Chain A
Amino acid sequence: MADHAPTGNQPPNSKVQLALRGYWRANMRIMAVLLCVWAIAGPVCGILLADRLNQFRLGGFPLGFWFAQQGSIIVFVVLILGYALLMNRLDRHHHDELQRLRRDAEG
């Protein structure tokens, strides 16, 4: 496996390491929040609480049934959209930060 590290002027390693660690922590936070939403929409509302939610109605649907067959899927799609937007923004920030470090190293 070859390294894909960028070539050219390298900023000091410790700062890059720090940037990467910060990026990874932010990544884990986003993931944890989104996975919680995932768990609530799918396994919790669709299964664990389905019988209780079925006492309520959404139009012609019993609510628990709706979550199991419609609601959870809608939430999942929105969730991945949110993930793509959030993470790609985070990646851009990280990219800018590395660029700055590289410029600092040069200057």
Chain B
Amino acid sequence: MDVQSWTTLFVGLSFSLYLLIAWVCRVRDTRGFYVAGQGVPTIANGMATAADWMSAASFLSMAGLISTMGYAGGVYLMGWTGGYVLLALLLAPYLRKFGHFTVPDFIGDRYNSTTARVVALIAAIFISFVYVAGQMRGVGVVFSKFLGVGIERGVLIGMVIVFIYATLGGMKGITWTQVAQYWVLITAFLIPTIAISIKLTGQPLPQVGMGSPLVGEGVHLLDKLDEIHREFGFNSYTEPFTGSKWNRLNVLCTTLALMVGTAGLPHVIVRFYTVKTVRAARWSAFWALFFIALLYLTAPATAAFARYYMFDSLQGKSEAELPGWYHKWNDIGMVLWLDDGDGRVCYSGDDRNELFRGGNLSTAELGKIASEHQVWLLTDHDQGADGRGVLRSKGLSGPDRDIIVLATPEMAELADWIIALVAAGGLAAALSTASGLLLVISSSVAHDFYYRVINPQATEAQRLLVGRAVIGLAVVIAGLFGIYPPGFVGEVVAFAFGLAAASFFPAIVLGIFSTRVGAVPATLGMVIGLVFTGGYIIGNRFFDMPAWCFGINATGIGTVGMLINFAVTLGLTPLCKSPDEKTRRLIESIREPEGAGPAVQIETTPGH
């Protein structure tokens, strides 16, 4: 069997499993729809959280980013796991004790303000959409590469699958589907990396293999990478703060923004409502990070191995020697080679570089650049244009980072079924996150907006109908984002994190740890944090605005937005009136660990 048949088999099997789970778990009431009836075991919840949260960005893009960024790739590793610590310590147990459905619900009740609720709502929906767009893109990439269907049709298939199991099973269905997806994605990530580690260093543990000598060379892998990087004009792989983009301040700010953003992401937080008790919320957070760490400790090894193979399989090769994987990815514009005339590939960090990616350029534009380049070569630089200069000026040097995880097993010449497994894993990662996010969007609109703001008299059936309709609409919009993407997967996700950091995090933390902060300062803090961060990112990325804020780039600005939010909220607090007695009692009940658990029957609570 070839790779394509294996992939079709694995993808078919895993999709059938997801649909089967959704059918078994189908629900009829809103409570099961949004928070799985709060009856999910902690280990399962931890696994589901891990799958929910390890998106296409973690699975497909992250190792690729680390591979090209070296040390600076650590911002994603530290950021996304360190954020979990903040979440577990500062938010999870208290939000579980609070016991409502969503983050906007908490903010609305804690600050006793419809304005605060609506601001949080808009932020939650916006962040979820930005994030979900990246997932759909990941689905499209996997489909187009491995199953030979176009990105558009790939996204469409993904949309249909997610829609079916999200509307059928609600949170309960999604939770159990995500448990299955976790196993698919973690096996798919670990098996190839372990196989490569054994092949390259003789060590079965990739985490050890990464720091071991190469088989037959006696040089440590990381030293070898540093040596290659020096030789071909790249920044060092292991040395920090090389180049102006990743100086100390930017590494710190980006890491903090990702950390705080993780803790503020609505689809992760909602997970802690699905366990039985406050104790279980803490255990659930531990299991989640444990399962996440299995992938996150392996990804840097994958990255280093991939980096080695990238040079090993391409550097200095002639047209006839190029490996099979190069041609496959070349076909869809993820990697291309524009020779300088010597007939040998040169992948470097400076002017010598001959490897590029298509980015957002169309096939026609790429074809034109390639043919102009051909003319330029044939006429001895007399006519045509040097395509390398053109692509370099567009920032398209080097192969597309999103392909590295998918291509590494092929670079290492692993068995076909392993390569196919990676494709199924990538789909599992993208679909699990997309479904969790769609549920947040749906609950935000159906519960927080429709039920709490528009029509408090809505019946259970009406709310369920609105919830399902919103998922349908959200899937369509997300799919459109996936087909016409605003950037590459990892970058889009970083945007969502920055916004979450600048809006929710201060409002939730202060809501729990201060009894003094009231509605007006918190709402203003959120609005100013959002506007500042959103404005800076959009201005910097799309309107050539210089990074005027101490040179902090768009991915790190969320940290500044968060600080501004804290400053505004705390600065205004003494000027505004403190919360009423009812709110103070609410805060006390959140802090008191007793009295949570099965006693919280949300739908039967009087006055709700």
Q: Which residues of A contact B (CB under 8 A)?
A: 1-6, 20, 23-24, 27, 31, 34-35, 38, 42-43, 46-48, 50-51, 54, 58-62, 64-66, 68-70, 72-74, 76-77, 79-81, 83-84, 87-88, 91, 94-95, 98
Contact = CB atoms under 8 A, between A and B. Distances in A.
A43 B595 CA distance: 37
Contact of A80 (B74, B84, B607): B84
Query: Which of A65, A72, A91 is most buried by chain B, counting CB atoms within 10 A of its CB?
Result: A65
Contacts of B223: 60
A65 B236 CA distance: 11
A5 B89 CA distance: 24
A6 B593 CA distance: 12
Given A2-B605, A35-B89, A68-B71, A60 B211 contact: yes
Given A69-B66, A77-B289, A1 B300 contact: no
A62 B222 contact: yes
Interface stretch (B53-61, B135-143, B251-259, B419-427): B251-259
18 contacts: A20-B592, A24-B591, A34-B89, A42-B82, A42-B255, A48-B252, A50-B240, A54-B240, A65-B74, A65-B239, A66-B211, A70-B207, A76-B82, A76-B85, A77-B81, A77-B293, A84-B282, A84-B286
A59 B567 CA distance: 44
Query: Which of B240, B241, B606, B608 is most buried by chain A, counting CB atoms within 10 A of its CB?
Result: B240
Interface in B79-105: 81-82, 84-86, 88-90, 93, 99
Given A43-B256, A84-B282, A95-B594, A73 B89 contact: no
Interface string B238-251: 11110000001001
A1 B588 CA distance: 13
A62 to B, nearest CB: 5
Interface of B: 66, 71, 73-74, 77-78, 81-82, 84-86, 88-90, 93, 99, 109, 207-208, 210-213, 220-223, 238-241, 248, 251-252, 255-256, 259, 278-279, 282-283, 285-286, 289-290, 293, 296-297, 300, 582, 585-586, 588-589, 591-596, 599-600, 605-608
B89 A47 contact: no
Contacts of A35: 85, 89
Given A5-B595, A87-B282, A94-B593, 7 more contacts: A2-B608, A6-B595, A46-B255, A65-B239, A76-B293, A80-B286, A81-B286
A50 B85 CA distance: 21
Query: Which of B73, B210, B238, B297 is most buried by chain A, counting CB atoms within 10 A of its CB?
Result: B238
Please classify the interface of chain B as helix (H, G, I), strand (E, B), loop, or mixed, using the class held by over half of its residues. Answer: helix
Query: 9 closest A-B pairs (Cβ-Cβ)?
Result: A68-B74, A60-B211, A60-B220, A69-B300, A84-B282, A4-B595, A50-B240, A65-B238, A61-B211
B351 to A, nearest CB: 28
Given A3-B589, A60-B221, A70-B300, A80 B109 contact: no
Contacts of B589: 3-5
Given A4-B595, A5-B589, A54-B239, A80 B85 contact: yes
B497 to A, nearest CB: 16
Contact of A88 (B109, B282, B596, B607): B282
B599 A4 contact: yes
Contact of A6 (B66, B213, B296, B594): B594
A58 B211 contact: yes
B89 A83 contact: yes
A43 B252 CA distance: 7
Contacts of B252: 43, 47-48
Contacts of A2: 605-608
B255 A88 contact: no
A48 B249 CA distance: 9
Contact of A73 (B99, B282, B293): B293
A72 B84 CA distance: 12
B239 A38 contact: no
Query: Which of B71, B85, B585 is most buried by chain A, counting CB atoms within 10 A of its CB?
Result: B85
Contacts of A47: 74, 78, 240, 248, 251-252, 255
Contact of B297 (A38, A70, A83): A70
Contacts of A83: 88-89, 282, 286
Contacts of B82: 38, 42-43, 72, 76
B254 to A, nearest CB: 10
Nearest to B284: A84
A28 B86 CA distance: 14
Contacts of A73: 77-78, 81, 293, 296-297
B562 to A, nearest CB: 14
A107 to B, nearest CB: 20
Given A1-B586, A60-B212, A88-B279, A72 B78 contact: yes
Nearest to B87: A80
A70 B294 CA distance: 11
Given A70-B297, A73-B77, A84 B220 contact: no
Contact of B285 (A50, A59, A72, A84): A84
A76 B88 CA distance: 11
A97 B437 CA distance: 41
Contacts of B289: 76-77, 80
A10 to B, nearest CB: 12
Contacts of A84: 88, 282-283, 285-286
Contacts of A60: 210-213, 220-223
A31 B293 contact: no
B93 A72 contact: no
